[in-house]
Structure formats: structure tokens, C-alpha cells
């Protein structure tokens, strides 16, 4: 009797297959949304590119709106994970702000992030609920993550701050404003790592000086 090949790959667990399928749906959805726009995006085309079935797509995301929101959440999660690293490490304030700022700004000027931003601006009038949800959903998650880090540094005595969430919003506005705006209007513009570092260093100085003046 022939022995069974012990090197044969074990069947992939159901949970693992579901996660792989979800990731494939999100990647295909991102491509289709950015190519066709939200309104014209076709769920059947997403399934065609990702594999699987329409019933599985709908069971995982509920529909086009849920799929779009999940795509946004996936991008936001990548960014908030970096902030959680700084929080867990209790990184010193200036060092943590610089690393968080550089990660944040690099994400904001990625081609995909800029395309999503342009897409939502173009669709905002026709789909105001979707645009408003996107406008609140992503910034809120990122702001809360930075607010936790700022509160941690306040407990360590590194900063005097009474409203960490407001301070987080101010910091992100300082970091992204000029560079993101320029990248949105000039598709050929891609800031160098040195330019990003310089922008973030300036934002850290202005932020800490402003907080000291407001809270002092």
C-alpha cells in the first residue's frame, strides 16, 4: 500500500480562505472604483477580477457602499497601525511626532490616496452621504490614534495638553496642507523623502510652539 506523501500541503483553513478572498475583493474594488468612478463601478467586474462569486461579495460587504467603505478602512488601518507602534513604544514626543508625521504625509501623497481623494471630490455632489462618510471616517480614526499618543506623552509629562483630539487635528493639518494640495493639483509632483522630512520637522516645531503658547 503506497504511503501518503507527507509533504502534501494541508487544506487551507476556511478562515484563511475567507481573508484571502476579502483581500482580493478589496484590491479589485480599488482598481475598478478608481478606473470607472463610484457610480459606474460594476460589482460583476470586481468579481471577475477577484474571483469568487457575487453572493460571496455581497455577504462580506453588503453592497457597493459597504465595499467602498471597507476599501477606505483598509487604507486607514495601515496608517493607524504605525501610530499604535509609537504608542506602545512610548516614543519620546518629538521623535514620535516626526515618525507619525512622515508616515502620514507619505500615505497622503501616494498615487492611490490622491486618486481616491479626487474621486470623492468629483462624486460629492451626486453622492453627498458617501462623501461625508468618507470625510469623517478616515480623519476620525487617524485623529483618535494620534490623540491617544499625545495623551500618553502628556501623562509622561512631555506636553501640557487639554484637548488631545483637537491637537491631533491641528498637527495633521500642519503636516499635510501645502504638500497634499500641491500633489492633488500637480499629478507630476512627487515630494522627495528629504522634502517630506523638512515639511514634518517644520510642522513639529510650529505645533509644539503653538501648543506651548495656547496651554501655557
Q: Do 19 and 116 share a domain, yes or no?
A: no
Q: Do 93 and 145 share a domain, yes or no?
A: yes
Domain's final residue, options 62, 95, 118? 62
Q: Which domain does 166 fall in, by range?
A: 72-215
Q: Do 138 and 208 share a domain, yes or no?
A: yes
How far, CA to CA in Å, does 35 sit from each of 78, 112, 125, 136, 165? 23, 11, 19, 24, 35
Q: Quick one: pLDDT band at residue 211, thresholds 50, 70, 90?
A: confident
In a domain, 6, yes or no: no
Q: Do 211 and 178 share a domain, yes or no?
A: yes
Give the model confidence (pLDDT) of 19-36 as tens digits: 898 999 999 999 999 899
Give the model confidence (pLDDT) of 72-84 as tens digits: 888 778 777 877 7
Specify the pLDDT at position 17: 83
Q: Do 85 and 135 share a domain, yes or no?
A: yes
Specify the pLDDT at position 212: 67
In a domain, 137, yes or no: yes
* CA angle 19–23–26, rounded 5-degree value: 140
Pick 123 or 105 by higher pLDDT. 105
Give the model confidence (pLDDT) of 142-179 as tens digits: 888 899 999 999 999 999 998 999 999 999 999 998 99
Specify the pLDDT at position 131: 81
Amino acid at each position: 500500500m503506497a504511503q501518503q506523501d507527507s509533504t502534501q500541503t494541508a487544506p487551507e483553513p476556511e478562515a484563511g480562505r475567507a481573508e484571502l478572498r476579502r483581500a482580493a475583493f478589496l484590491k479589485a474594488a480599488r482598481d475598478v472604483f478608481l478606473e470607472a468612478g463610484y457610480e459606474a463601478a460594476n460589482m460583476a467586474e470586481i468579481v471577475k477580477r477577484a474571483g469568487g462569486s457575487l453572493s460571496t461579495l455581497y455577504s462580506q460587504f453588503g453592497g457597493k457602499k459597504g465595499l467602498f467603505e471597507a476599501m477606505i478602512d483598509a487604507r486607514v488601518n495601515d496608517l493607524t497601525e504605525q501610530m499604535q507602534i509609537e504608542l506602545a513604544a512610548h516614543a519620546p514626543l518629538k521623535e514620535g511626532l516626526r515618525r507619525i508625521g512622515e508616515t502620514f504625509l507619505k500615505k497622503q501623497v501616494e498615487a492611490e490616496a490622491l486618486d481616491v481623494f479626487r474621486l470623492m471630490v468629483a462624486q460629492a455632489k451626486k453622492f453627498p452621504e458617501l462623501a461625508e462618510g468618507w470625510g469623517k471616517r478616515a480623519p476620525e480614526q487617524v485623529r483618535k490614534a494620534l490623540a491617544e499618543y499625545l495623551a500618553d506623552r502628556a501623562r509622561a509629562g512631555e506636553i501640557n495638553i487639554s484637548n488631545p483630539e483637537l491637537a491631533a487635528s491641528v498637527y495633521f493639518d500642519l503636516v499635510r496642507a501645502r504638500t497634499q494640495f500641491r500633489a492633488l493639483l500637480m499629478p507630476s509632483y512627487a515630494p522627495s523623502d528629504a522634502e517630506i522630512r523638512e515639511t514634518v520637522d517644520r510642522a513639529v516645531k510650529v505645533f509644539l510652539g503653538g501648543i506651548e503658547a495656547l496651554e501655557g
